[in-house]
Amino acid sequence: MGWLEELRDRIEITRRKAYLDNAGAGPLTKDAVEAVTNFLNKWQVEGEPWELALDHIVEAKKVFAQLIDAPSWQNIAAVPSATYGLNALLSAMEFKPGSNVVVSPLNFPTGIFSFHALKSRGLIKEVRVARSVNGYVPLEEYERLIDDNTAVVFVDYVSWITGYKERIREIAEIAHARGAVLISDAFHAVGVLPIDVIRDGVDALITGSYKWLLGPHGAGFVYVNDELLGSLSRLYRVGWELTITR
């Protein structure tokens, strides 16, 4: 069996259907089904496999760190969903009075809503939505919108709606020149495109597993670089499950 056949063999649905990109959930692999089933069976028969769960989480963080070329697995948090991860991160960030946030209209709505929620709570002053032309946002638009009061530039790595791959590195350079951080939702990129968060200048990245990591719902990741991690307040996200560890 060639590598492609071997891969397809581990994805049950390919026996009956041609799986096209529906931009919703990816096809589930046998590996994911087996891992979840084995874990639940063990729990059912022997009691909660707590130590095993912790080992799995650390292992998953290590593999994910490699996938996005993060410096360490300790920059990775395991979260239940991309949306949860973004909100956990935002709720721990400190914003200077008068801050604005610049977002792309090609982003999945989850992030846009989160920033509007920050605005309605008075934590930021403005959400600036960039204008797209022919399905993408020209770099000049970011130059125009990002200023010294911009706290965050939030751009999806690949757009859920057009499939456009953003010029993340160049956008990050514009953001950094004005002192803003670049956060990217990479749900449509991880597992498909090579990602290097250092090369791309990404300060924080969020994703879930159920698209092109071919995993289930309920498992996502957040990457936060050292500098941003050091500035996060622990006041807003406290609890035993806080999963960014140092």
Ligand X SMILES: Cc1ncc(COP(=O)(O)O)c(C=O)c1O
Residues contributing to the site for ligand X (CB under 6 A): 81-83, 108, 110, 156, 160, 185, 187-188, 208, 220
User: Measured from the CB of residue 188, what is the shortest distance to ligand X in angstroms?
Assistant: 5
C-alpha to C-alpha distance for 80 and 1, rounded to whole angstroms = 36
User: Measured from the CB of residue 82, what is the shortest distance to ligand X in angstroms?
Assistant: 4
Residues in the chain: 246
Q: Which of 134, 131, 124 is nearest to 145 (CA)?
A: 131
Cβ-based nearer residue to ligand X, 111 or 149: 111
User: Measured from the CB of residue 79, what is the shortest distance to ligand X in angstroms?
Assistant: 9
DSSP 8-class letter at 45: H
Cβ-based nearer residue to ligand X, 205 or 244: 205
Amino acid making up residue 8: R
C-alpha to C-alpha distance for 156 and 148, rounded to whole angstroms = 22
Q: List 77's β-bridge partners, or say none.
A: 222
Strand 220-224's sheet: what is its strand order?
76-79, 220-224, 204-208, 181-185, 150-154, 100-103, 126-129
Cβ-based nearer residue to ligand X, 106 or 149: 106
Cβ-based nearer residue to ligand X, 160 or 223: 160
Cβ-based nearer residue to ligand X, 102 or 149: 102
Total Cβ atoms within 10 A of residue 132: 17
C-alpha to C-alpha distance for 158 and 189, rounded to whole angstroms = 6
User: Measured from the CB of residue 88, what is the shortest distance to ligand X in angstroms?
Assistant: 12
Cβ-based nearer residue to ligand X, 60 or 149: 60
If phi over 0 gives left and psi between -120 and 50 gives alpha, with beta otherwise, what is residue 88?
Answer: alpha
User: Measured from the CB of residue 15, what is the shortest distance to ligand X in angstroms?
Assistant: 26
User: Measured from the CB of residue 166, what is the shortest distance to ligand X in angstroms?
Assistant: 12
Instruction: State the burial class of residue 191 (Cβ atoms within 10 Å of its Cβ: 0-12, 13-18, 19+).
Output: middle
